[in-house]
Chain A
């Protein structure tokens, strides 16, 4: 066998590898799109004649604590808390955990809500940083649902754990303080926990929608608008694809591995059993779900991670490249950390769908996909320099990948149109189409770069933690 023949065999092998990966990823997306459409139909049928309002005044509605960590959120904290206090539910409280903020968040809250320091007995079921100024409650009965905790800085996970210790409720809703919850969001999110009798629902997650440019007044979403900036538009499309297609399909398989940190409802007992949020990872939202699932599997208990496709939680998406890269870099490191931490689950039949399907899928198509994509690009560059490149093959493959990404974006848009039709204003249709074409060119390169940086930082820059997320505030946008 001569040298040329060996090289040729290796190159053919690479060709087939990239082709196989493309076929697998496209195949998996087709299956996910199919499953998601089935699950969406099922959900809509199931809830078409449900009166969620019965929960508002029920004497047996289960208790829920909304836990919202806040770090230097002084700009919007008062309005954000007001929005959380406007939730339509009968048996809930709002726990704001001021995580060692250096700004005047606490002072603003004390003045706005007439707070006073109270003695509060805390059972540290989950270890957290010490309290700083202590626990505050309002002297005004109108705000009796509000508890503000001021503690030493320990990060988001630590603040959530502090909220878990403070909570006296059966369920905990962990949210980002700047998220805007629709009034009926708790009613909808808690329903799966109350419905199942043959299994325990350990967590439920909802769709996160992007509120940039939407009209918001007094913590209420009045009008859904489509932003002018391409980067924000691209993220809207990306979220639609991810939440309406991907996660819905995984919910159908009961294989969800992640519930967005922006809004998720958890069974407090199980969250405590597993030790609360892990403070050492930057992907605490994914990690806790994997750990809760692992715990249930090991206890041999039947369980479910539920998913609600209704647009219940609206958040502000970053509008500049730097922040997007920082955010996605963190997501990548969080994924790597979680997958590594729980690697014994992978392909382990003891963990059933978690070990045999969800985990390998996340490893190959979330963890490895950016690396394989970049390797593919480098490979083609290599071929170019060695004049081995069949342009027809390369251009065809890139075009095919591009067209498939357009196709899935269209499927997500059609799902949105057939179900919630949030972007109903005339003229948004054409903007959506343009976004579909441009998103792979605008957002995808950034996401890819952030993922590679995330990998680099994970292995060579261990001190890197959260990064900064600068917010403009939803109440100011229109």
Chain B
């Protein structure tokens, strides 16, 4: 009684034959592909070296004469010829960007002029018209790297682009090219600024030569909470204490993240008024706010805060308990010394031991 399932067996064996065939093809394709990758890599290196050499030759001959020399004209012609091939164009752009980041002074200006001269800018604008978001982002990056200020109106359109990568490039463009003035894009920003965005923007802001930062109060009052948080970071890093009144207002903001950031900034400035505001509404604060408040208290507490602090040395939260005891020891050593050194609470004993026998870590 042997079972026969002819239809299924037929399907199975057809698939076996088909897959065997596919696998044979894949083996050959793998061979071709690996070879192709190797060849492409060495061709890339070779062509990049040529472009680098030509660029350096161009840059150094530019220093010597005002009009374009024969060799420079030849180099421009070479580049222009290369642009017709997508593969070569990619390498040319990559090398241009790489070299621009490595050179300084007058040479950067020459590079930018050359970028425009050979028609790369035209390709950057073309990228902006692409339907693919990453091509648009690359277009903005190229325009930013070569500091094309006249593209400002084009780039404005991307401030609120739905893809964060595209709008990030647009934001970086404004700051890199227009310095603090470029921050005005924040007026129009309706979408979030992630932490990653903020890190990138701050890196660009740090590179701005002009020390005179714009009036940032309008952004501290922005309806976009992400803009407010970003500005609070700037207030802290650039010590903009003149915004203190707004910072104090932010302690009652609806957004928890804004309140926390404002507390952190006020702690940095050691603003005693903030302590009073938060102390009065301590019971309504979230745990994170309470912890942030105790950080503020560590910097601003006086002997007058002893009672408040003592109220919290038996808190159920380890960190609050630790901070309270530490603050008490700092502001009122007499009372601290009179505290029981051992209790039923293990964590209390541990903290006391730590405060008494270590210099704190």
Smallest CB gap from B23: residue in A:
A406
Q: Is the CB of B195 within 8 A of A400?
A: no
Chain B residues with CB under 8 A of A118: 358, 361
| Minimum CB–CB distance for B201 against chain A, Å | 10
A55 at the interface (CB under 8 A from B): yes
CA distance A400 to B347 in the complex (A): 63
Smallest CB gap from B31: residue in A:
A429
Q: Is the CB of B195 within 8 A of A119?
A: no
Which of A59, A119, A393, A421 lies in contact with B354, CB distance below 8 A? A119
CA distance A51 to B12 in the complex (A): 50
Of residues 160 to 203 in B, which have CB atoms within 8 Å of A's CB atoms? 164-165, 169, 192-196, 198-200, 202-203
Chain B residues with CB under 8 A of A426: 38
Query: Chain A 392-413 against B: per-residue CB contact (8 Å), 1 yes, 0 no?
Result: 1100110110011011001001
A104 at the interface (CB under 8 A from B): no
Interface segment among B48-56, B72-80, B134-142: the answer is: B134-142
CA distance A360 to B141 in the complex (A): 44
A88 at the interface (CB under 8 A from B): no
Q: Is the CB of A403 within 8 A of B3?
A: no
Q: Is the CB of A417 within 8 A of B33?
A: yes
Which of A119, A194, A433 lies in contact with B357, CB distance below 8 A? A119
Given contacts A60-B233, A410-B30, contact A388 B351 (CB under 8 A): no
Chain A residues with CB under 8 A of B354: 119, 121
Chain A residues with CB under 8 A of B5: 12, 15, 390, 393
CA distance A49 to B3 in the complex (A): 60
Main secondary structure of the interface of B (DSSP, over half): helix
Which of B4, B16, B193 lies in contact with A400, CB distance below 8 A? B16
A48 at the interface (CB under 8 A from B): yes
Query: Chain A 41-62 against B: per-residue CB contact (8 Å), 1 yes, 0 no?
Result: 0000110110100110111111
B19 at the interface (CB under 8 A from A): yes
Chain B residues with CB under 8 A of A341: none
Given contacts A60-B198, A118-B361, A417-B37, contact A390 B9 (CB under 8 A): yes
A215 at the interface (CB under 8 A from B): no
| Minimum CB–CB distance for A163 against chain B, Å | 16
CA distance A387 to B38 in the complex (A): 55
A-B contact pairs, 26 of them (CB 8 A): A15-B5, A46-B134, A48-B138, A49-B137, A49-B141, A54-B203, A55-B199, A57-B203, A118-B358, A121-B354, A123-B318, A125-B318, A196-B194, A198-B192, A388-B1, A389-B2, A393-B3, A397-B12, A399-B16, A400-B12, A400-B15, A403-B16, A403-B20, A404-B19, A407-B22, A424-B37
Q: Is the CB of B192 within 8 A of A388?
A: no
Which of B3, B199, B319 lies in contact with A58, CB distance below 8 A? B199
CA distance A4 to B361 in the complex (A): 80
CA distance A388 to B2 in the complex (A): 5
Given contacts A49-B137, A424-B37, A426-B38, contact A388 B26 (CB under 8 A): no
Q: Is the CB of A414 within 8 A of B30?
A: yes
Q: Is the CB of A413 within 8 A of B13?
A: no
CA distance A433 to B27 in the complex (A): 7
Q: Is the CB of A390 within 8 A of B2?
A: yes
Chain B residues with CB under 8 A of A429: 30-31, 34
Most chain A CB within 10 A, of B22, B141, B203, B359, is at B203
Chain B residues with CB under 8 A of A417: 30, 33-34, 37
Q: Which 3 A-B pairs have the closest CB atoms?
A: A119-B358, A396-B12, A197-B192
Query: Chain B 25-43 against A: per-residue CB contact (8 Å), 1 yes, 0 no?
Result: 0110011011001100000
Q: Is the CB of B192 within 8 A of A393?
A: no
CA distance A406 to B194 in the complex (A): 43
Chain B residues with CB under 8 A of A392: 9, 13
A432 at the interface (CB under 8 A from B): yes
Query: Chain A 441-453 against B: per-residue CB contact (8 Å), 1 yes, 0 no?
Result: 0000000000000
B277 at the interface (CB under 8 A from A): no
Q: Is the CB of A58 within 8 A of B203?
A: yes
20 other A-B residue contacts (CB within 8 Å) besides A49-B138, A58-B203, A406-B23 = A12-B3, A15-B5, A46-B134, A49-B134, A49-B137, A58-B202, A61-B199, A120-B361, A121-B358, A123-B318, A137-B361, A191-B196, A195-B195, A197-B192, A197-B226, A388-B1, A388-B2, A390-B2, A424-B38, A433-B27
| Minimum CB–CB distance for B357 against chain A, Å | 6
A11 at the interface (CB under 8 A from B): yes
Smallest CB gap from A423: residue in B:
B34
B65 at the interface (CB under 8 A from A): no
Chain A residues with CB under 8 A of B9: 390, 392-393, 396
Q: Is the CB of A432 within 8 A of B192?
A: no
Smallest CB gap from A397: residue in B:
B12
B322 at the interface (CB under 8 A from A): yes
CA distance A366 to B125 in the complex (A): 50
Given contacts A396-B9, A407-B22, contact A194 B199 (CB under 8 A): yes
Q: Is the CB of A194 within 8 A of B194?
A: yes
Chain A residues with CB under 8 A of B45: none
Chain B residues with CB under 8 A of A222: none
Q: Is the CB of B361 within 8 A of A119?
A: yes
CA distance A429 to B203 in the complex (A): 43
Chain A residues with CB under 8 A of B126: none
Q: Is the CB of A407 within 8 A of B319?
A: no
Query: Chain B 240-264 against A: per-residue CB contact (8 Å), 1 yes, 0 no?
Result: 0000000000000000000000000
Q: Is the CB of A195 within 8 A of B3?
A: no
Most chain B CB within 10 A, of A15, A125, A197, A421, is at A197
Q: Is the CB of A432 within 8 A of B37?
A: no
Q: Is the CB of B361 within 8 A of A121?
A: yes
Chain A residues with CB under 8 A of B350: 121-122
A8 at the interface (CB under 8 A from B): yes
Q: Is the CB of A11 within 8 A of B3?
A: yes
B8 at the interface (CB under 8 A from A): yes
CA distance A410 to B34 in the complex (A): 13
CA distance A202 to B5 in the complex (A): 50
Chain B residues with CB under 8 A of A403: 15-16, 19-20, 23
Smallest CB gap from B140: residue in A:
A49
Q: Is the CB of B8 within 8 A of A393?
A: yes
B285 at the interface (CB under 8 A from A): no
CA distance A389 to B165 in the complex (A): 60
Q: Is the CB of B1 within 8 A of A60?
A: no
Q: Is the CB of B19 within 8 A of A387?
A: no
Q: Is the CB of B33 within 8 A of A410?
A: no
Q: Is the CB of B194 within 8 A of A400?
A: no
B237 at the interface (CB under 8 A from A): yes
A19 at the interface (CB under 8 A from B): yes
Most chain A CB within 10 A, of B13, B195, B319, is at B195
CA distance A396 to B319 in the complex (A): 66
Chain A residues with CB under 8 A of B23: 403, 406-407, 410
Which of B141, B195, B319 lies in contact with A194, CB distance below 8 A? B195
Which of B3, B30, B138, B193 lies in contact with A432, CB distance below 8 A? B30
Chain B residues with CB under 8 A of A60: 195, 198-199, 202, 233, 237
CA distance A433 to B350 in the complex (A): 61
Q: Is the CB of B4 within 8 A of A390?
A: yes
| Minimum CB–CB distance for A74 against chain B, Å | 27
Chain B residues with CB under 8 A of A12: 3, 5
Smallest CB gap from B18: residue in A:
A403
CA distance A298 to B305 in the complex (A): 40
Which of A191, A387, A400 lies in contact with B2, CB distance below 8 A? A387
CA distance A19 to B38 in the complex (A): 42
Q: Is the CB of B361 within 8 A of A413?
A: no
CA distance A120 to B322 in the complex (A): 13
